Structure formats: C-alpha cells, structure tokens
Amino acid sequence: MRALRIGLSACFFHADPLRPIFKGKTLLYLEQSLARWVMAQGALCYLVPDPGTEPGLSVDLEALAGPLDGLVLQGGSDVSPLSYGEAPLKAEWSGDAIRDAYEIALVRAFRVQGKPILGICRGAQLLNVAFGGTLYQDLATQHPGPTVHRDWAVYDRNFHGLRLDGRLAALAGVSETRVNSVHHQAVRELGAGLAVEARSHDGLVEAFRAVDGPQLFAVQWHPEFQDPGDASLLDGTVFLKDFLKASLTGLQRV
C-alpha cells in the first residue's frame, strides 16, 4: 500500500511590485513545521495550488483533490469578515477574502469526495465560516477577558488551559490540558452541523468536529509549533493520527 497523500492548503503572498523577489507575482507557500509534523507520521505532503478561473484551464480543485487522501488547512492571515457577511471593524482586520474563497471551495471538493479534513488555527476559523458560522474579528476588542490568546512578543510560547469534551477528550485521555495560543480572532457563532470539543477557560471555542459526513476536525492552536517533549501540553499527534486513520479510507479505494 502506498503512503498517504495529504494536501495542504496554500498561504498567499499576493502580487507586490515592491517585493525584492518575484516582483508583482503571487506566491503560494506552506509553513515548514506543519509539513514536517504531518510527514513525521509517514504521510506525504502536497501543497494544493489555487488553479484560478482562467478560460481554457482544464484543472480545477476537484481534480487536484482527486489523488489526495485528506486535507490540512494551515494557519496564516485573518479570515476576511466579508466572507461571513460583516464589514471589517479596522482596515488591518480585512483578512484575505481571495484565500478564503479558494479554501472554502477546496473544503467543498474534499467533502464531495468523502475525504477527511483537519483545520489548524486559521483553518479552524475558515471551516467555521464555511459551515455558516461567524468570528470575533479581534478578541481584545470584542471578547476581552483574563485569558491572553495572542502575545506577539512570545508568539507560540504563550499558553493557556483547555477543557476537552467528546471524541477529543477520549483520544487524549484527559479532560483538562494546556496548549499554545497564537490567535487574535476566534469562533463567535458556531457553524451548522459542528460540535464543540474544547474550550479555553474563558469560554472560547478551541476545537470542534462535524457531526455528520466525512471526518472534519479543527483546533484553534498550533500543535505543530509545540515542544513534543513538554508533557504539560496536549500531544497533537493523538488527533493527527486519528485524521490519518480516517484518510486511509480514501487510500483503500485505490
């Protein structure tokens, strides 16, 4: 049996005439530690490009999804408030509506083909929006509280407590744990057909799962950034392995 082929959604550097390399060109990229986190379990990773909509193009997202066994949505830029029917409260929270549209279409392609999806940080926010949910555009402004969800100075070394429920609690074998926290946006109204499986102590949704259909699970933190030797933190491989196990269903069709 061949190795699992896992697609990773692309982050976007949009065309910038002032950039010193690839002047005026759009760049698609992935974050290295996420790919290595997935590949450490023996899977192969493939960046899924945005095929665009140019006339005569014979490749679309469903065709790109076809040879792949599962999808991971990586972190990055803010989800645009326009993607869930709101205006940005500040210009710097405008997000990336172009990337949103690409990833929502990518999610639909994998769902139609019955393949599992795992969302990480922005990926969780994007999935919530894809299922009709909304987001806090900025937690410090719209959901102030004692829990610090983003501290730029320490970045992925900022941690907070977590309460687990459902399948995630069963996989982890605990109901209380800690994770890192690198986000200033978060789930506000949960999308249709999603069930919460983790919350921070201030009540924010930190993980959820689709109730029906192929496996779809998402977390608000970055498990790929955490020190695997730190026993005080939730070991993200418990749900990564669960996602890869679900991806075997597609592989076994080959």
What does the pLDDT look like over 1-41, one tens digit per residue?
899 999 999 999 999 999 999 999 999 999 999 999 999 99
Q: According to the model, what pLDDT value does residue 52 have?
A: 86
Q: Residue 145 — φ and ψ, nearest 5°?
A: -175, 180
pLDDT tens for residues 105-156?
Answer: 999 999 999 999 999 999 999 999 999 999 999 999 999 988 999 999 999 9
- Residue 238 is predicted with a pLDDT of 98
Confidence check: pLDDT of 251 > 90: no
- Is the pLDDT at 215 greater than 90? The verdict is yes
Looking at the chain, the whole-number percentage of residues with pLDDT higher than 90 is 93
Residue 1 tokens read as 């049996």
Is 237 in contact with 182 (CB distance < 8 Å)?
no
State residue 193's pLDDT score.
98
In the predicted model, is pLDDT for residue 253 greater than 70? no
Q: Model confidence at 252, in pLDDT bands (50, 70, 90)? A: low
Average pLDDT over residues 68-74: 98
- State whether residue 175 is helix, strand or coil: coil
Domains of the chain plus CATH, in order, are 5-251 (3.40.50.880)
Average pLDDT over residues 42-54: 93
pLDDT of residue 53: 76
Give the whole-angstrom CA distance, residue 194 versus residue 60: 27
Catalytic residues: 121, 222, 224
Residue 251 region, left (φ>0) first, then alpha (ψ -120 to 50), else beta?
A: alpha
Cβ contacts of 18 within 8 Å, gap of 6 or more? none
Q: What is the pTM assigned to this prediction?
A: 0.96
Quote the pLDDT of residue 1: 80
